[in-house]
Structure 1
Amino acid sequence: MKWTFEQLKTFKVVAELGTMTSAAEALGLTPGAVSQQMAALQAGLQHSIFARDGRRVTLTDAGVTLLRYTRVLLEDERRAAIALSGPQSEQRTVVSVGVFGSAAVSAIGPAIERLRTTSPNVVIQATEVDVEIMPQAILDYQIDIALGLSYQNAPQPPLRGVMVEVLHHEPFLMVLPPEARDIANNRGALVDYANATDWVLPPVETYFGRACRFACAEAGIEPKVQHTVTDTAVSIALAESGGGITLATPLMMGLRPTDSPVATLPGNSHRSIVAIARSSALQKASVSAVRDALIHAFSG
């Protein structure tokens, strides 16, 4: 089926006024031009839409159906024209943001609050996405912008056309069993203890698992992994129960506070929260506004 909005507009007037002549007068066209438009519209349809009734035209069942949807289409076109002709600041735009646990809790609320002031018609739609596939989700247009991760010793490879902007750095923290409280602030004793004690770490094939092991190596620690756990809350719970040492970050621990002793992992390893977006997407005022709101959320 092929039709144009001009044909549908003419069809609506013909259907409502009942004659080609009346429709032509209302539209400022000749009767011949109206007839040509209706003939072209009919040619693209499988069923007749008009039935002759003397000098008038009435609608068949197919015509009645087409008129119902024509009114919907023309009303949507009218609203779209009004929205696009007005100031851009008055257009409501939804921006999809890929998030993961700890960053979402820390940033999405403040970003939404910031947008209420700076861009009140831009709306964030948060979608949880695995950090390992976040860049590909951006490339596949599944999300507009994302909060992702980059680890100092295990950086993500660059992707053409994708912008990565650092928003926040945070150190690796060692969550220790209760027995290690007295050595948490003694770096030398801490490294020796860490080399002699069991560990709770994510699987080595995960992004965070690899980053943890690289960070431990920089600290001079070769972890003896006794428990392989992905979930942060479970890992910290195991450390609390004396099951071993685990790694976390301040944002991660915001989701799962603990009374166990905590020490900064020796060395300079850290992870970065990054904004990820297609370079072309940032040309949209809405996506750029969300990027600025996320930057502001981590600047405090």
Structure 2
Amino acid sequence: MKWTFEQLKTFKVVAELGTMTAAAEALGFTAGAVSQQMASLQGSVPRPLFARDGRRVALTDAGKTLLHHAAVLIEDERQAAAALSGPQAGQRAVVSVGVFGSAAVSAMQPAIGRLRETSPNVAVQAVEVDVETMPQAIQESRIDIALGLNYEDAPQPPLRGVVSQVLHREPFLMVLPPAAHELVRDDRLLMEYANDCDWILPPVDTYFGRACRFACARSGIEPNVQHLVTDTAVSIALAESGIGVTLATPLMMGLRPTAAPTAVLPGKSTRSIVAIVRSSALERDSVRAVRDALVHAFSQPPKLG
């Protein structure tokens, strides 16, 4: 059956008004044009649609069946057109956001709050993703946009069709055992201590582990890594207990506040929180709104605890 949408809309008007002439006047067509459309529609179906009733047309059972379905299709088309051309608030969209620990705690609440003000039609679905595989998850369209990491001493290789925007930069901090509290005031003694003591770092085959070692090298420290720990909270707890020195950042320490002494790692190494998204996804108003909300979230003073 090869009817057209215009034929169905004309058919509905004919059925409602009862004559081809009245339908033509209502639609702004000629009576001949309406008659031709109805002849084409009739030719596309196997059963008669109309029965003559004097000068008027009446619907057969087949015609009434088609009218019911045509009305549904026409209403669906009207609602779709209204949703696409109406105000933004009428278009609800769900955007999946890849998140990881410290960035999620800092950004998601203010970002969602911002969206409620600027784009109440946009809903966010947070999805926890391993930060090391976040760019691939974006490239494979498993998530729409993500909070990711980039370390200046160990930059991520670019991926085709994926772009990133820096949201926040923060320094590396040395988290020291309590016994090293006085050393924080003397850079020379602190450096000597850092080169002699035990360290707690992630394995070298992890992204953060490599970044830590590059940052230490830039600072002039050769860490004596005795403990391989991936979980930042555990590393900080071990440093606090006197086991050794570890590295963290201000946002990381928001997940595990500590009274242990800290000092900025020499060398000015930093890590960046970035928004990662496919270029094509930025054509969606909803994804751009989420990205802008994340930018706004990180423009505010971060909540560290």
Shorter-chain TM band: 0.7 to 0.9
3-state SS of the aligned residue for 1:133? Answer: helix
CA drift at 1:34:
6.8
Give the Cα separation in 1 of the matches to 2:40 and 2:110: 58
Show the 5 A alignment for 1:9-28: none
Q: Which residue of 2 aligns with 1:128?
A: 128
Amino acid at match of 1:107: A
* Aligned match of 1:213: 213
Q: CA deviation at 1:76?
A: 4.9
Give the corresponding residue for 1:249. Answer: 249
The one-letter code of the counterpart of 2:115 is L
Structure 2 length-normalised TM = 0.77
The Cα offsets for residues 191-227 of structure 1, whole Å up to 9 and x where unpaired, read as 2111211111111111111000101111111112221
- Distance apart, 1:67 and its partner CA: 11
- Larger C-alpha radius of gyration, 1 or 2? 2
Task: Summarize deviations over 1:157-195 as a string: whole Å, max 9, x none.
Answer: 122332211111100011111211111232211121112
Alpha-carbon separation, structure 1, partners of 2:9 and 2:204: 63
Q: CA deviation at 1:27?
A: 8.7
> Which residue of 2 is the match for residue 102 of structure 1?
102
Deviations 1:2-51 (A, max 9, x none): 9987899899x8xxx9xxxx8x99998989977976886x8xxxxx9x9x
CA contact (8 A) 1:171 1:270 kept: yes
CA displacement, residues 60-88 of structure 1 (integer Å, 9 cap, x when unaligned): xxxx9x99999987765443232113123
Secondary structure at the residue paired with 1:184?
Answer: helix
* AA aligned opposite 1:85: S
How far apart, CA to CA, are the structure 2 residues paired with 1:38 and 1:128?
56
TM-score (norm 1): 0.78
Tell me, yes or no, if structure 1 residue 233 matches structure 2 residue 233: yes
Closer/same/farther in 2, CA of residues 199 and 91 from structure 1, 3 Å limit: same
Q: Which residue of 2 aligns with 1:117?
A: 117
Would you say the 8 A contact 1:185–1:263 is kept in 2? Answer: no
State the aligned residue count. 286
What amino acid sits opposite 1:129 in the alignment?
V
Structure 1 residues 88 and 176, CA gap change in structure 2 (3 angstroms) = same
- C-alpha separation in 2, matches of 1:172 and 1:71: 64
Pairs within 5 Å for 1:47-196 = 76-196=76-196
CA distance in 1, matches of 2:203, 2:232: 12
Q: Quick one: percent identity of the two aligned structures? A: 67
**Distance in 2 between residues matched to 1:219 and 1:167, nearest whole Å:** 25
Q: Work out the CA distance in 2 between the residues paired with 1:238 and 1:70.
A: 70
Secondary structure of residue in 1 paired with 2:116: helix
Query: Gaps spanning 5+ residues in structure 1: where?
Result: 43-47, 51-55
Q: Is the 8 A contact 1:187 1:266 kept in 2?
A: no
